[in-house]
Amino acid sequence: SLVYLPLLLQLFRSFSRRPIAAASLGQVHRAVLHTGEEVVVKVQRPGLKQLFDIDLNNLRILAEQLDKGDENRDFKGIYAECASVLYDEIDYINEGRNADRFRRNFRDTPWVRTPVVHWEFSSPRVLTLEYLPGVKITDMQRLQAAGIATELVARRATEAYLMQVLRHGFFHADPHPGNVSVDAQGRLLFYDYGMMGEIVPNVRERLLDVFYGIYKKDTSGVIRALVELGVITPSGDMLSIRRAIGYFLENITRQTERQEAIGVSNRGWRSCSATVNRSKHCDYLA
């Protein structure tokens, strides 16, 4: 709207009215600060919190009624988790803090980049970030045309998530292709930090045991770790579970041998597997 033009000119040297990205919660515009730095400005759609308040209140009432009819399910718990995630997603101050934390976690990893938050131009409904252009991580044709090794990209993406889950305990929970790009130097660019997840240390250690068991094809080790995580309840007859996990381990091994079709060679998988192996010696828990 032209009503905001004087304010935009006060804050920015230039501001593109046409968004470069748009979604249900907001849209993103390119802009240039008076310092000459290129940025993107994420602007939330108006009235979202009021809509969330109305819809989530109706869902809360529904969850309470459903819980009365089914003692084996926790619909109120599901509602509470969904409401928390949705309200966090429309709090751009929270998203900016997440981005800062994510960037600090990867400060010693030169092949992962996180946009810097310009706090002086941000608010709960507006978030201004460093402009980091890149090629969508799934656009194989453009990556190859730019001379970027897709095998390296796949290996880095795998290692980045192992680091998030097993070392940092803080991970990007919305990693669709629109939120992960690759720059001209082959570095991973992560966008949109509204939905993040956290893993407490004892769970991280058990997840590490699961990864290590898969790497070693150790069915008993995987079962033991899953029991400690509470994913599996021990019973007198564990034979069917053992068979299912054994089948999974064999199947995942076969699938990795076909990864050339999506740009990950056996050599790339072996490198990622070796990364998990090293993590047993505390690389990812440091």
Q: Is 174 a catalytic residue?
A: yes
Inter-CA distances, 210 with 223, 225, 244, Å: 8, 6, 15
Q: Describe the crossing of helices 201-216 and 219-229 by its angle, rounded to 10 degrees.
A: 160
Q: How far apart are CA 159 and CA 166, in angstroms?
A: 10
Q: How far apart are CA 114 and CA 59, in angstroms?
A: 35
Q: Catalytic pick from 74, 174, 183, 218?
A: 174
- Enter the DSSP assignment of 258: T
**Region at 169 (left for phi over 0; alpha for psi -120 to 50; beta for the rest):** left
Q: Are 115 and 125 in contact (CB under 8 A)?
A: no
Beta bridge partners of 189: 113, 181
What lies within 8 Å, CB to CB, of 213 at 6+ separation is: 219, 220, 221, 222, 224, 225
81 burial level (CB within 10 Å; 0-12, 13-18, 19+)? exposed
**For residue 152, how many other CB atoms are within 10 A of its CB?**
17
Catalytic residue IDs: 174
